[in-house]
Amino acid sequence: MYPGSTIGVLGSGQLGRMLALAARPLGYHIHIFSPERDTPAGQVADLEICAAYDDLDAVRAFARGVDVVTYEFENVPAATAVACQEFAPLRPGPQALHMAQNRLREKTFFVENGLPTAPFTAVHSLTDLQNGLVQIGCPAVLKTAVSGYDGKGQIKLMHPDEAEAAWQAVGQVDCILEGWVEFEREVSVVAARGLDGRFAHYGVIENSHANHILDVSKAPADVPPDTAKEAVAMAQCVLEALDVVGVLCVEFFLTGDGRLLLNEMAPRPHNSGHLTIEACVTSQFEQQCRAVCGLPLGDTCYRQPAAMANLLGDLWDIRRKGAKEQRGEEREGEVDWTAVLRLPHIKVHLYGKREPRPGRKMGHLTALADSVGEAERIVREARALLGY
Ligand code: AMP
């Protein structure tokens, strides 16, 4: 699909927005399919089609108007994916989508492909959970098999006595029970595979989380070369086994004794890859565009070490509370960006979301520097200026 063609995107959040912004310089048109209006992606797209994902007539009309369909979230209903495929290729294909939608399926797929994970077992009943805790031991973490993200639908169990309460708390739905990993670090590999099967990657990125939500990413990660090689090889194995055309991210735990355990994957650009926008010759978003359009993949070289810090809705909340305390009045929580915009090494990204809510990803900051440590220091200090 040559420049001038139209890329259809299912989903309308910040990932779709940054994909649209990267596709523009290459001359592509972007149509967004979204259940809402005035969305982060819709604001910068040529067309925002507003309908429910299960409105298959609307989905077909959307797919008829584009040359290729991709998605920016993995919970696209299977019927929606099938309806799109009647009119346009879906990239990455339905296999990746199917695998990423269910934690149990995903982990089973990893193991079947010889990729290491934390010990896990399927839980379909309280008895399964009780038996699982005997088998795996405590601490363990119970996660709903579907629809969990950013720590939602997860409960850590410290003792087998907590089984019944945990089973009630997750709503007695199909789950996976995992052994708790005392990891030293969390890392990810963002990689891409082209239509011709070529593979490209952004090396290992190190991630820290706060309240289960990604907080800061930095790259290249300070891991031994063999570990980096192994992580990339594992990511390549995932992309090839699923015949992915597009970008996919694999998240790992790295243990103190140097073992990599796969935690999860996302068949799309990933929050940990946002720093590639400034840091790399080709960003993960341009790469996604290139891959799904069948163009050659771009150079993934780092121009400089980088760090990224997320800006959550909490920031607006803090400002609002601060304003109230100072003035004794409720005031819209505006953030004063000027101090950060004055900094020479910081790039500010805001996603155009109207409603800041605690835990909601509203934007991010990226810093480039001569070392990863310096980039991290700069980005954290910049965020602190905002009152974080
Ligand atoms: P997930 O939604 O599976 O990515 O989990 C969100 C975060 O919870 C991860 O990034 C980890 O920080 C933590 N976590 C999830 N599963 C485990 C586990 N088995 N052992 C230790 N920490 C975990």
* Closest approach atom of ligand 1 to CA 150: 2
Most informative mutation of 263, 264, 265, 310 for ligand 1 (most atoms within 8 A of CB): 263
What is the structure's pLDDT at 387?
82
What is the structure's pLDDT at 333?
60
Scanning the structure block, which residue is given the tokens 């797929």? 109
Distance of CA 373 to the CA centre of its chain: 23
Q: If you take atom 7 of ligand 1, which residue's CA is the nearest one?
A: 212
What is the structure's pLDDT at 323?
55
* Closest approach atom of ligand 1 to CA 152: 2
CB-CB neighbours of 70 under 10 Å: 30
Name the E strands within 35-182.
Answer: 47-50, 68-71, 120-123, 140-144, 154-157, 175-179
* Closest approach atom of ligand 1 to CA 183: 21
List all residues whose CB is within 6 A of at least one atom of ligand 1.
Answer: 118, 141, 148, 151, 178, 180-181, 186, 209, 212, 263-264
What is the structure's pLDDT at 331?
46
- Ligand 1 midpoint to CA 351 (Å): 26
Q: How far is CA 257 from CA 138, 182, 185, in A?
A: 20, 11, 11
Q: What is the DSSP letter of 271?
A: G
What three-state secondary structure class fits 262?
strand
Q: If you take atom 8 of ligand 1, which residue's CA is the nearest one?
A: 212
Q: If you take atom 18 of ligand 1, which residue's CA is the nearest one?
A: 180
* Closest approach atom of ligand 1 to CA 103: 3
Write out the two tokens for 203: 């090396």
Domains annotated for the chain, with CATH where assigned, are 6-90 (3.40.50.20), 119-179 (3.30.1490.20), 183-385 (3.30.470.20)
Residues of the chain short of pLDDT 50, as ranges, are 328-331
- Ligand 1 midpoint to CA 154 (Å): 9
- Ligand 1 midpoint to CA 14 (Å): 23
For 85-116, the three-class secondary structure string (H helix, E strand, C coil) is HCCCCECCCHHHHHHHCCHHHHHHHHHHCCCC
